[in-house]
Structure 1
């Protein structure tokens, strides 16, 4: 249920992002079209004859106006309907502006030139290609369909116009094609191409252009969607896992909502006497303190490949061995605890120079089976570890105060770290045995080792 909701939320954000890209694409297409149409208009002033300048420049100005309409109303609820109407208008303007004869020109001369040069076909291909700038598959397909209709309509228009000027009686529908074929055979010229091939070739070419451009836009949109989803997933994972694990997890298919039991090393750390330390301080200063503390602790956790489970007020919970257990989980957890103590000692040196009181932390570490899964409400899930191991690690962290210790670790954790071969004698020398201690809420005592507050955790 929650997975479906999360997916729906991601899909909704993706739709919004794609709509934003479409709006940005329309704005880009508007500016590009103004430049292109302006260039064409200037070129027509020099290249077109005096009788064609008005038609050509008029067509450019009309298409500039329609482009502005699409741009101005791109955020309107009726933007798509307007775009449909503007596309039809633009294709019609291109068609009329291309094949309408020059005023006063010899009958049929202009159409012969149009079909000999294929001007309409080329202009429509350019217009279709420019539609890709809209970043909308719908716009590309619509433009291609309108261009196909314009090509077929211009073919029929030319045949009828040539028949009229040649004094040919218009036959019935069944006899129209032979007459049209003879007319286009004369326009195209003998030995060039058959009228059927001439028309079909252009229609097929335009269809293929529409398909290729639409697929290109679709692939671009799909790539954007995959990129956004992957980045969102990566950012979500980065909240919990060390950077060296994020890329591996983002490329896999872990179902974090399915609970599963695994072995893990759990670490708790918090500030000793936090309430007294912050007493009388402004709220913003308390927040700033917590941000610095959390940042330092997170850096230690991620530096040793741990998973940041949660922030708990002035405390932090981390796990080592999630989502996948590693042979050196206990070693990395204990070294992380030692690094936390060193980090706070470095922090305290700067605080003393500013006349601020020293900070003391307490760390508890325990290894054992945990139940991993997404817990919380369907609107806010949190991937976390629960179970007896978590409770014991939390109790050991609280016991640090009674034993005047910075770190309290269970004997199982220290033994597993030493047996893995990664926890050296130099690491072990910081810990001294305390023996079995009674952990609140647990029947059996736990044998622990501690790092005293007075014993500096040297590197």
Structure 2
């Protein structure tokens, strides 16, 4: 899944890059008109015009074909070549006997464009631009030294290591500093995108309040053993409906069913473990156990009975079959947490309590009851059991479980 933060960040970077390009163009133009540049006017005109054309091409590419890494690299290389042209005009193009004064303001353009590249926050582009400019700049100084001093090696070295070398050395240190900043920015961006992706992943299971709390605390949600309330929600006769319904009808019914279920679970501080077709598994007590987990789970289940009854009646009015919901609720020890499988992190809860809750949901269908609750959960309640049409049963055998269980279930209201 591509993060929305990633798209917004890239778009903001491109807009800022376009604006900075035209700021750099204004500086180049001002340097041409005000700095003198005796004997090099033609070269500077070519540089200014070329940079303007490159800027227009860069803005067009960012607008119509964004995200092309090779295009970004191409524009950076072209910028570096323009700087090389300016350096050539001031270092090599003049006569051999000329006294080269490399402190001219024209060469400051190299630093301006370096900063422009650095503000893209891409260390690879910084490295490409700095390498081209620095290698060509130093090479031109070496050629100048050879042209002016050929008598002996000492004279040659003295001609090369002079004050003119200060500008490319300063440029190299500036490029290195910008490279480090771009690297740190890249690391920060990756961490932000990772946190954004983690938040999106957690939002599939937890309410927004819990997601915010987990991100602030930086908890990893590793597997832990704890007590929790487990709830399974399922629809009766949904399989028969799915066999005859169109794909569009099926998607519509599932969406309208899952939304109120998950919202009700979140409203009571529960966690959605997974959706399995028309089945929903939720947990109360994850990511951390609370004293009122059983109370909140039962309150959620009772609210779901009313919510899904209203949803059923609404679906019938729309021409869909009557799909009654069945809920199983149990309390026990589970092992729960987020399993990271590399490309996908999955929240999971396992244990006997999970199996019992699923069996109770299946039993609710056979009892024609909207809700079946185990005696273990009722024993954990801190508040009295809410008054309702409860029916108690003792010693009920569940498939796949050796020991029987005591439970209570709601009688379906007449006419519901």
Give your verdict on TM over 0.5: yes
Aligned residues: 405
Q: Find the aligned partners of 2:104 and 2:34 in 1 and give their Cα distance.
A: 21
- 2:130 alignment partner in structure 1: 144
Q: Which moved more, 1:340-349 or 1:56-65?
A: 56-65
1:409-439, CA deviations, whole angstroms, 9 ceiling, x for partnerless residues? 011101101xxx3x3x4x5212634130232
Q: Is 2:409 aligned against 1:443?
A: no
Report if aligned partners of 1:407, 1:451 keep a CA contact under 8 Å in 2.
yes
Report if aligned partners of 2:32, 2:41 keep a CA contact under 8 Å in 1.
yes
Larger Cα-atom Rg: 1
Q: Find the aligned partners of 1:383 and 1:231 in 2 and give their Cα distance.
A: 17
Q: Which moved more, 1:129-138 or 1:297-306?
A: 129-138
Report if aligned partners of 1:26, 1:133 keep a CA contact under 8 Å in 2.
no
Report if aligned partners of 2:79, 2:113 keep a CA contact under 8 Å in 1.
no
Which residue of 44, 50, 64 corresponds with 2:32? 44
Report if aligned partners of 2:273, 2:347 keep a CA contact under 8 Å in 1.
yes
- 2:259 alignment partner in structure 1: 295
**Does the C-alpha gap of structure 1 residues 153 and 310 become closer, same or farther in structure 2, counting only changes over 3 Å?**
closer
Q: Which moved more, 1:138-147 or 1:33-42?
A: 33-42
SS in 2 for 1:144: helix
Structure 1: 5+ residue runs without aligned partners? 1-9, 164-168, 182-194
- For 1:310-389, list aligned pairs within 5 A: 310-348=274-312, 350-351=314-315, 354=318, 358-372=322-336, 382-389=346-353
Give 1:216 deviation, angstroms: 2.1
Q: Find the aligned partners of 2:28 and 2:165 in 1 and give their Cα distance.
A: 29
Report if aligned partners of 2:201, 2:345 keep a CA contact under 8 Å in 1.
no
**Does the C-alpha gap of structure 1 residues 65 and 99 become closer, same or farther in structure 2, counting only changes over 3 Å?**
farther
Give 1:175 deviation, angstroms: 2.8
- For 1:167-186, list aligned pairs within 5 A: 170-176=150-156, 180=159
Give 1:90 deviation, angstroms: 3.0
CA RMSD of aligned residues (A): 4.3
SS in 2 for 1:232: helix
Structure 2: 5+ residue runs without aligned partners? none
**Does the C-alpha gap of structure 1 residues 348 and 30 become closer, same or farther in structure 2, counting only changes over 3 Å?**
closer
Q: Which moved more, 1:395-404 or 1:328-337?
A: 395-404
Report if aligned partners of 2:375, 2:407 keep a CA contact under 8 Å in 1.
yes
1:260-294, CA deviations, whole angstroms, 9 ceiling, x for partnerless residues? 53322111111233345667543321221111111
SS in 1 for 2:380: helix
Which residue of 430, 451, 455 corresponds with 2:388? 430
Q: Is 2:170 aligned against 1:205?
A: yes
Report if aligned partners of 1:435, 1:449 keep a CA contact under 8 Å in 2.
yes
Q: Find the aligned partners of 2:82 and 2:341 in 1 and give their Cα distance.
A: 53
1:324-363, CA deviations, whole angstroms, 9 ceiling, x for partnerless residues? 3222211111111011112123324544655655542111
Taking structure 2 as the reference length, what is the TM-score of the superposition?
Answer: 0.78
SS in 1 for 2:370: strand
- 2:44 alignment partner in structure 1: 56
Q: Find the aligned partners of 1:231 and 1:336 in 2 and give their Cα distance.
A: 29
Report if aligned partners of 1:66, 1:90 keep a CA contact under 8 Å in 2.
no
Give 1:30 deviation, angstroms: 7.2
**Does the C-alpha gap of structure 1 residues 84 and 133 become closer, same or farther in structure 2, counting only changes over 3 Å?**
closer
Report if aligned partners of 2:287, 2:337 keep a CA contact under 8 Å in 1.
no
Which residue of 64, 77, 82 corresponds with 1:90? 82
Taking structure 1 as the reference length, what is the TM-score of the superposition?
Answer: 0.72
